[in-house]
Amino acid sequence: MNWIAPSEKDTAAASLEKNLWDTADQFRANSGLKAQEYSGPILGIIFLRFAEVRFSARRAALTGRPSPGSASHPLPVGEGRGEGAERVSRRGSRADEPAAYHAEGILYLPEEARFDYLLNLPEAENIGAKVNAAMREIEKHNPQLAGVLPKTYNLFTSTLLKELLKKASEIPASADYDAFGRIYEYFLGQFARTEGQKGGEFYTPAGIVRLLTEIIEPFHGRILDPACGSGGMFVQSARFIAEHKRTSRPTPSSPALLPEGEGSGHYRGGFNFEGLKERARELRNKQTPAEELLWELLRNRQCFDLKFRRQHQFGNYLLDFYCCEANLAVELDGEPHNTAERQKKDAKRSAYLESQGVTTLRFENFIAVKTPEVILEAIAQHSASPSPAGRGGGEGAAPDYSGDPARELSIHGVEKTDETGRLCRMNLAVHGLEGDIRHGGNVNSYYDDPHDATGHFDFVLANPPFNVNAVDKERLKDSVGPGRRYPFGLPRTDNGNYLWIQLFYSSLNAKGRAGFVMANSASDARSSEQDLRQQLIENRAVDVMVAVGPNMFYTVTLPCTLWFFDKGKATLPRKTPSTRPDGHPSPNGRRDGDEGVAHDRSNTVLFIDARHIYRQVDRAHREWTPAQIGFIANVVRLYRGEEPDFTLGGDEANEKLTEVFGETPTFTDVPGLCKAATLEEIEEQGWSLNPGRYVGVAPGEEVSDEDFKEQLEELSEELETLNAAARELEVTIAANVAEILGV
């Protein structure tokens, strides 16, 4: 299928992002530094401006003074306003207490680490030293950023730094996460262009990542990227959640469900979070013996593989132990709870939690100490029975889904390069996210598993390095076999592609989904890699394969393939393709697969050829438009029996879907675009996962020169593989004959 969107004029020419980049480019020209030397410091300045905007708004709320976030400068989402001044006057200001900022997920900035202070320094000052000191102070007061921020500003003249600070000050105080995020991503993309091959190590084009998230749909859960680069997979997952926000009933972000007399309008969602997180930390440090004992039994998914948190914030409440996956709260009560007044409050609290779909299990402290198995049995019974929402929810149940990425995602990443890992953590902070990112210190995903990943993740997203050689397989031997990191064995070839592929597969839980970028050669690789691919296919984990054309990446021109796993589809009954994670409904509230489809999805793989769907950016680069991404993602939704979702792509994607699949779109094989191939058909093709072998060419279309060249390259590669195997066999035969003859 050919869909080449018209090129657009550079509408960004006069945009803030473009102006900022022009200044940065001037910065490079006048500094004499390489891109990798000045990219970090420039991104650090943008980060500092973002931190200042959020800090100033929070400080204004704490002091009760007029804020840049009021009137013509609305506060970023989640900032306090309104009655904050009244409370300040009653209690006294907490404007200089870091905890008052951390409780709202905001970085605390000491006076000499604030953007405006640095901006107003005279050029006669050593501005580079001042900015370095500011970065150290920010790390000192915000431990989650320890060792992350750049501190090489002494390499630049005060004149250059002054100019950069002035340009960054043009980012308006009203900018929210999304605005700052766009600027940050724009710079990451531009740096990737200028840094050449090295840029590809930390940046995957946003269009590629966006399609990955649209297909795996990471609404809620634990997400892993074992080659996370600058964190684009996490950021795009968060954006997916925010853009696709769907709630079929109110959640804790809805103030209407607050118990009467509680909450107020000046904090996000109508909740008063003032001091709540500090209180949670205090309670964690002062656990009772009963709480300490139960926590030892619940922590680290020891209890039925459920993730519990202690002293967890839920609305205006702190819950002793909370499991989001099971919508379950476990409360331990001492003697104070035996009074009538306290029991009334507890009942009110339980009623509120019930209205949110959360079940509360209450026990007295002595039960946790003397017979903890009673509590564990109650948790087991709850997790085994259908719940009204969330993972394991009953059929037709609607999810309790907030649409807040910080609440819905638990982010985990691994990055071999320390500098890039710091870039990732800064990128997350710019987008209001936090995650457990392990980087540097010789950490390597082939050999190391810092997140105990096997079987524990709902989602995996990655763009790993292709065709890596010289992996030390001796170090991997203990990780091979069922239930381990490399469940299907090690490839005999000196190529790391199928090590990555198995890592993604083994990290998923029983319903997990993965989406990742992979070299085209992995789809057709022969010998031991074919054996590994056959096992993956026969385990019914491979869900969708998308062929991507050339020039979609900044650093390489070669085409690639997007792979998608869905472990949940292996257990699907015939003609019921629903595995949308956590029971999430389609946009109109209908569950996946309510009407069924004509194919048995558990026995098929969807192949999509998107090589001729693109927009030409310039002579050397292509991209997907939002409508094209939305169209491809909706082809997958039709295949799964889901309702189309036009959050991304809008009317244009809808029109194209109707044009291809009819007025009432229903999945069918479309020559040149898509085919649901059975496992039998795949076996006939030598277990190939190359979409071109199945999709074919649309009627009336001819094989293009580009396609012919690609096919010839594939045949040449296959011939070389067969020749290598023949040479290997020839040596083996010669050795056997020599042994028989006693030569």
Burial of 311 (0-12, 13-18, 19+ CB in 10 A): buried
Whether residue 557 has pLDDT greater than 90: no
DSSP 3-state assignment of 428? Answer: helix
Whether residue 82 has pLDDT greater than 50: no
- What is the rounded CA–CA span in Å between residue 271 and residue 254? 9
Residue with the larger pLDDT of the pair 670 and 182:
670
As a whole-number percent, the residues of the chain with pLDDT over 90 amount to 34
Name the CA radius of gyration of the chain, rounded: 28
pLDDT for the residue 580: 52
- What is the rounded CA–CA span in Å between residue 32 and residue 534? 52
Least confident of 130-144, 218-232, 240-254: 240-254
Burial of 9 (0-12, 13-18, 19+ CB in 10 A): exposed
Beta strands in 400-496 (DSSP E): 409-415, 435-439, 457-462
Tokens encoding 73: 């400068």
Residue with the larger pLDDT of the pair 134 and 307:
134
Instruction: List Cα–Cα distances, 57 to 45, 69, 75, 140, 177, in angstroms.
Output: 19, 6, 6, 21, 14
Residue with the larger pLDDT of the pair 609 and 711:
609
Question: What is the number of other CB atoms lying within 10 angstroms of the CB of residue 81?
Answer: 18
Ramachandran area for residue 404 (φ above 0: left; ψ -120 to 50: alpha; else beta): beta
pLDDT for the residue 174: 64
Q: What's the one-letter identity of residue 456? A: H
Least confident of 69-73, 148-152, 355-359, 550-554: 69-73
- The mean pLDDT of 93-111, rounded to a whole number, is 83
Contact between 263 and 273 under an 8 Å Cβ cutoff? The reply is: no
Residue with the larger pLDDT of the pair 548 and 26:
548
Whether residue 655 has pLDDT greater than 90: yes
Whether residue 138 has pLDDT greater than 90: yes
pLDDT for the residue 544: 98
- The mean pLDDT of 547-561, rounded to a whole number, is 83
User: What is this structure's pTM?
Assistant: 0.70
Tokens encoding 195: 């840094």
Q: Which residues contact 710 (CB under 8 A, 6 or more apart)?
A: 559, 692
Question: What is the number of other CB atoms lying within 10 angstroms of the CB of residue 720?
Answer: 11
Whether residue 78 has pLDDT greater than 60: no
- The mean pLDDT of 9-32, rounded to a whole number, is 63
Spatial strand order of the sheet with 621-623 comes to 3-5, 613-618, 621-623
- What is the rounded CA–CA span in Å between residue 625 and residue 207? 8
Contact between 129 and 158 under an 8 Å Cβ cutoff? The reply is: no
Of the candidates 312, 313, 236, the one whose C-alpha atom is nearest the C-alpha of residue 267 is 313
- What is the rounded CA–CA span in Å between residue 93 and residue 62? 6
